Amino acid sequence: MTQDIVILAAGKGSRMKSAFSKVLHKVGGIAMVRRVLTTANTLPDSKLHLVVGHQGEQVEANCQDFSANIVWQNDPQGTGDALRRVAPFLQDDGVALTLYGDVPLIRASTLTKMTALSTPNTLVLLTIKLDNPTGYGRIVRDDHGKVTAIVEQKDASVEQLAIQEVNTGILLAPNHRLKVWLAALTNTNAQGEYYLTDVIAMAARDGLDIVTVHPENEAEVAGVNDRVQLAALERDWQHQQAIQLMQNGATLLDPSRIDVRGELITGHDVIIDVNCVFEGKVVLGNGVEIGPNCHLKDCVIGDNTIVKSHTLIDDSQVGESCDIGPFARLRPGTQLSNKAKIGNFVETKKARIGEGSKVNHLSYIGDTDMGANVNVGAGTITCNYDGVNKHLTQVGDNVFIGSNTSLVAPVQVAEGATIAAGSTITKQVNEKQLAFARARQINKDNWIGPVKK
């Protein structure tokens, strides 16, 4: 059976007090609506429809890679109104699943359970029981436990307000029936809107089987209306990530102080200290240790590497048994071979550091191809930028570079060479040569220094 998936993302979200569409605010580093679209995309034989309205251009531009059918709802009049605008695109012989762009943590496994119950004569509802159901539409059942209607909070009687089973808004209905129900909707209610929930009573009247499915947890169906709810959902998401990481064999020294804003893959016996942030896709090999207050983005860290505190790694490849930090910064394009060492206050960019090479402290190495077993003294920099273009520095194996050296690119230092401390190297240094490039020291006797006036 073909399946249409409709994601509602037209709301104004005025309580967010933002220049951006509500559904573009992020949970776990990913826009809420993109999370919903990604989950929807996992369901087979599905066609995506994205309903946009307020700041719809922003939403459409942000989601164009999903190839969803964009449907405009410029003057929103409720969820039923949104579905009526999608109705012409729905396949008569299929079913429609309704999702929400501000309910980002819905799981594919839950939606799969719903689709498994779908038939041409069945309507599937996702419901949940809450200790405090205030604000939600209540699920009304008859004496036999069959669902007969959904009553919104503002339209509910005192008895109905006591019901704890509530509507999540997520439902699955056969299209040939849904189109008829949508056409029959009215807005004679307290909100003056067309409620999608009114189709439940129509389905009951028409003799359809109305079945319910429940999510695994409340966070899965929690919506976001303001930044307080957004922050709460972020914590729910991070808690879920922490549990999964620990179940996969990672040690988190404090599971409440980690932020995963993308995908974090860990090997066995990984240790992550407090206040670490992971963005994009990060892969940590077996036995990796991440110190406190580190920020890793789009990188791969090899087995048994130690990343010490306050280190930033972005778009880089790190080999096995490396030693990085503290206070190091690996910028995009950095590649560390096995057993390389990057020490405190060292910055690298678009640099390949060979096996066993050491850049211990207070250095900048950019646009560099460095061989194995090189020792770089403190304060060394590669002068890779001439004001217009970037140039390459090439350093061979077993080179010793003295402290406070400037390597003015493009330049080559061949295997086994030694650079004297304080040198500015502008010309090629050949194999096993010793290069001095500094002015002769002059000492003046009886020097009288400046006197404070």
Catalytic site positions: 361
**Residue 102 annotated in ligand binding:** yes
446 is in an annotated binding site: no
121 is in an annotated binding site: no
10 is an annotated ligand-binding site residue = yes
Is 184 annotated for ligand binding? no
| 19 carries a ligand binding annotation | no
Which residue, among 141, 133, 137, has the nearest Cα to 152 in the 3D structure? 137
Does 100 appear as a known binding residue? yes
The CA distance from 283 to 245, in Å, is 12
| 52, 73 contact by CB (below 8 A) | yes
**Residue 12 is labelled as binding a ligand:** no
79 is in an annotated binding site: yes
**280 belongs to an annotated ligand binding site:** no
> Is position 438 annotated in a ligand binding site?
yes
Answer yes or no: is 384 a known binding residue.
yes
96 is in an annotated binding site: no
Contact 375, 358 (CB under 8 A): yes
385 is in an annotated binding site: yes
> Is 285 part of any known ligand binding site?
no
- Which positions make up the binding site for acetyl-CoA? 378, 384-385, 403, 421, 438
- Which positions make up the binding site? 8-11, 22, 73, 78-79, 100-102, 137, 152, 167, 225, 331, 349, 364, 375, 378, 384-385, 403, 421, 438
- Which positions make up the binding site for UDP-N-acetyl-alpha-D-glucosamine? 8-11, 22, 73, 78-79, 100-102, 137, 152, 167, 225, 331, 349, 364, 375
- Which positions make up the binding site for Mg(2+)? 102, 225
